[in-house]
Structure 1
Amino acid sequence: MATKLIQEKTIEQWKSDYPVLQEVADINEVFWANPHYGEKANPILLKAENITEAAERLVRFAPYIAEVFPETAETNGIIESPLIKIPSMQRHLEKKYEVEIKGSLLLKCDSHLPISGSIKARGGIYEVLKHAEELAIQAGMLAYTDDYTILDSDTFKSFFSQYSIAVGSTGNLGLSIGIMSAQLGFKATVHMSADAKTWKKELLREKGVTVIEYESDYSKAVEEGRKQAGEYPNCHFIDDENSKDLFLGYAVAGSRLKQQLDEMGIIVDAEHPLFVYLPCGVGGGPGGITFGLKKEFGENVHCFFAEPTHSPCFLIGQATGLQDQISVQDLGLDNRTDADGLAVGRASGFVGKTIGHMLSGCYTIEDERLYSLLRDAADNGNIFLEPSAVAGFYGPVQLFRQPAGQDYLQKNKLQHVAENGYHIVWATGGSMVPKDIMEAYYQKG
């Protein structure tokens, strides 16, 4: 059998050029600092004003959201999550891993975002709303100046029912898009990979969403969804790998986090650096948030992506520069992990190219450790998250414990200011996990 070549090189040659790949192939936990961090980027089509437009759109929809999802009434229809200090979890991590985490540890609770209980409530819901707005405006049924609560009517539901929305997902993105699409009146179809949890599929079906299941992984679900959607002129396919709208929905988190930090009296500058740890699947969510954070805080924010040891697609795409031209399967990995939202074998090339120079680094974490951290978060803060959502907790531990982390701090002149810094663990999902399943996760931990 002929040896597979990637860009005219064998995998063994790639491993020789980038030794981290051998560690990854051996399923070891790694911490990789990005050597291209801070370099001049390729010209980017997306700008700060695109994020502003997205934020304004979400404000226009807020009265409608508040009306149809009463759980958002308190925030007047703005879908946002709390930012909390977690000193007891910080002390626990320091003791458990015998490491000093310099600075203060906080948790960004996207696990408790209203409507769909995960980070995907940002990008997924945003793209559905944008599509609905464009259709209604083109049809002459809506103006930007209208009170958008008029969307909650039989007239609009009947109008949107002529159109369908489709997406490929490992779970949480499908939930956010399915729930929002069905609420507006769209016909919604979610193509689910084998890793998707049964309760997520059942919840979508309860909401009237069509769920198509696949035996294979995320990439196949996306490919099939894209193909089927292409056969119907009135179907809008939300492309997790390439969508600029999804990306911008996530990016709005940057200005909102800035506002939350201001309200808490937390300053981010050269003397008070911000470190953010984001669980990563295909890259859209953490990539969009990184883009938004960089627009707000520039070089004073440092973003690290967390991936399972069996599915580190973003790390290998960045380390080699190959982006979506290399998969975890090319390294002999099986892309199987209990962290369903992170079970992605091939990264988004669009996201990789857009934020590659903004990314401080990536690290991997084994499933057993995810369950251990899940239990720790419950015991040391009464915080209940799904396995993929706790991956961020391992970031500050590895940053201060690994030689590559120490090198990063030194190279970026952060060693003497780290103690004034802040570490935000981005908790990406968990509040909608059924109680019996969450209890099983806890017991496993």
Structure 2
Amino acid sequence: MNSQKWTEKFPLLRRVAAAEEIIWLNPSFSPFHSVHRTSIRESIVEESEKRFLRFKPWMQEVFSIDEPYQSPLTEVRKLQHVLQIPGRLFIKQDSELPVAGSIKARGGFHEVFAWAEQLALKHHLLTGWSDDYRRLNTPEAKALFSSYTIAVGSTGNLGMSIGIMGTSFGFQSTVHMSNDAKKWKKDRLRNSGARVLEYTGDYSRAVEEGRRQCLKDETCHFVDDERSTLLFAGYTTAASELAVQLRQAGLYPDENHPLFVYLPCGVGGGPGGVAFGLKRLFGKHVHCFFAEPTHSPAMLLGLVTREHEKICVQDLGLDNQTEADGLAVGRPSALASKVMEPLLSGAYTIEDDRLYEYLDLLMNTEQFYLEPSALAGMAGPEKTAASGYFEKYAIDPGTVTHVVWGTGGGLVPEDIRAEDRRKRKSPKEFQNEAD
């Protein structure tokens, strides 16, 4: 089907095809739809949490980190005042996750752990799950792992997560990177010992080529961001961490404290896993929205048309070119898009220029950094308020807890951070208030 036929069938897509900012409320969403009725086993959440605990002593020994899997939940009152958002506004700083500095530590580390565990049990380095996993930080273990390769296709942060963790175990690590990936990320991976292969095409090309090469080698494990249940499962564990933090703040989601979560979305595994975990815990009291660049609305397109992975942004005439490298994806995950169809409240798009405006505003008001792709969620409260969603579900905006998921930026070098701030264009309506 050509672009014109898609826009005739779904009029909203005319604005999407023109790379305009839009918000879409999901007609398939039901507040009462349970994760029990999806294709994903609910038990994957607890299985993943237990695996993270088994590997915690290994993480503590290798990286000298007491809490290797947690990130801060930070209330941003000054930013909220400038943006004039009712309720309470928080940023979940996955940018501060140790080692990888992004949300990809959750899914990426989990899949590397699962494969290392499988090999260690098979080759009798471990006798069972009750063993001390620090055994995997020995010359014997590294000799075993060095005969295996772990590979991934990535625009950046997932590659960083897999590459850094894979080499820490001793795996031969190969990262297939698209032309959207930032140079500093490629350099950092190479410096960590990973092999980086670059492609002129976009993210999907890098994944396809990585998958193809790995299939030819029985000692290679490919981390498939478009299809992996292990990745998805790792992301789900963020929900229980957030639940503890919200309870400590006296804002555990219920009838009087509805939770709205805004998640930057690329291929969809990360935000999909987090949203699945949140819906599992909080049910009708949580409302999840995905945020995508205007030139790369892959998940939005898959959900609006219900074609999922069978449609890409190029089918609508979009170029998939964005400064938000982590979101530069043309085709959504089949796994995540189908699971999210009844669970996601909606999705919206945001222009690249606005990412830099939010970056500058965040630095001016709260004095911390997120990379541009991690700031896509910042427009969520404003767009949701203007969409009629609160009225539709009889929600008082003053009772809402807004959580913007700050997906990455912890490893960005200082010179790149300064360069990002300089990219902010002419002043917008809220600059004077922020200054």
Q: TM-score, normalised by structure 1?
A: 0.93
CA contact (8 A) 2:33 2:343 kept: no
Say if 2:415 is the partner of 1:436.
Answer: yes
> What amino acid sits opposite 1:185 in the alignment?
G
Instruction: Work out which of the residue numbers 205, 210, 221 in structure 1 matches 2:190.
Output: 205
Q: What's the CA shift for 1:81?
A: 0.3
3-state DSSP of counterpart to 2:394: coil
1:28 matched to which residue of 2? 20
Distance 1:326 1:93 in 2: 35
Instruction: Work out which of the residue numbers 13, 16, 31 in structure 1 matches 2:5.
Output: 13
Q: What's the CA shift for 1:19?
A: 1.2
Distance 1:375 1:427 in 2: 15
3-state DSSP of counterpart to 1:345: coil
List runs of 5+ in structure 2 lacking aligned partners. 425-435
After superposition, give the CA deviation of every residue in 1:319-354 in whole Å (9 maximum; x if it has no partner).
Answer: 110111111101111000010000000001111111
1:63 matched to which residue of 2? 57
Distance 2:390 2:227 in 1: 32
Instruction: Work out which of the residue numbers 400, 405, 409 in structure 2 matches 1:421.
Output: 400
> What amino acid sits opposite 1:87 in the alignment?
R
Say if 2:206 is the partner of 1:221.
Answer: yes
Instruction: Work out which of the residue numbers 236, 244, 247 in structure 2 matches 1:259.
Output: 244
Distance 1:319 1:126 in 2: 31
2:428 matched to which residue of 1? none
> What amino acid sits opposite 1:247 in the alignment?
F
1:377 matched to which residue of 2? 362
After superposition, give the CA deviation of every residue in 1:230-284 in whole Å (9 maximum; x if it has no partner).
Answer: 1100100000000000000000011111111112222210221000000000000
Q: What's the CA shift for 1:47?
A: 2.6
2:103 matched to which residue of 1? 119
> What amino acid sits opposite 2:15 in the alignment?
E
After superposition, give the CA deviation of every residue in 1:276-305 in whole Å (9 maximum; x if it has no partner).
Answer: 000000000000000000001001000000
> What amino acid sits opposite 2:89 in the alignment?
L
Q: CA RMSD in A?
A: 1.2
Distance 1:46 1:219 in 2: 23
After superposition, give the CA deviation of every residue in 1:91-125 in whole Å (9 maximum; x if it has no partner).
Answer: 1122xxxxxx2210001000111001000000001
Distance 1:386 1:188 in 2: 25
Say if 2:327 is the partner of 1:342.
Answer: yes
Distance 1:114 1:252 in 2: 16
Q: What's the CA shift for 1:369?
A: 0.7
1:81 matched to which residue of 2? 71
Say if 2:132 is the partner of 1:147.
Answer: yes
After superposition, give the CA deviation of every residue in 1:54-102 in whole Å (9 maximum; x if it has no partner).
Answer: 00010010010011112x22x2xx41100011010111122xxxxxx22
> What amino acid sits opposite 1:438 in the alignment?
R
After superposition, residues 342-421 of structure 1 pair within 5 angstroms as: 342-400=327-385, 402=386, 405-406=387-388, 408-414=389-395, 417-421=396-400
2:429 matched to which residue of 1? none
% identical equivalent positions: 49
Q: What's the CA shift for 1:140?
A: 1.7
2:114 matched to which residue of 1? 130
> What amino acid sits opposite 1:361 in the alignment?
G
CA contact (8 A) 2:359 2:372 kept: yes
3-state DSSP of counterpart to 1:27: coil
> What amino acid sits opposite 1:65 in the alignment?
M
1:243 matched to which residue of 2? 228
CA contact (8 A) 2:6 2:316 kept: no
Distance 2:107 2:91 in 1: 20
Q: What's the CA shift for 1:13?
A: 2.5
3-state DSSP of counterpart to 2:101: coil
3-state DSSP of counterpart to 1:358: coil
Instruction: Single out whichever of 265-274 and 108-117 deviates more from structure 2.
Output: 265-274
CA contact (8 A) 1:315 1:362 kept: yes
CA contact (8 A) 1:124 1:249 kept: yes
Q: What's the CA shift for 1:43?
A: 4.7
Q: TM-score, normalised by structure 2?
A: 0.95
> What amino acid sits opposite 1:424 in the alignment?
V
3-state DSSP of counterpart to 1:194: coil
List runs of 5+ in structure 1 lacking aligned partners. 95-100
3-state DSSP of counterpart to 2:43: helix
2:88 matched to which residue of 1? 104
1:98 matched to which residue of 2? none
Distance 1:56 1:418 in 2: 37
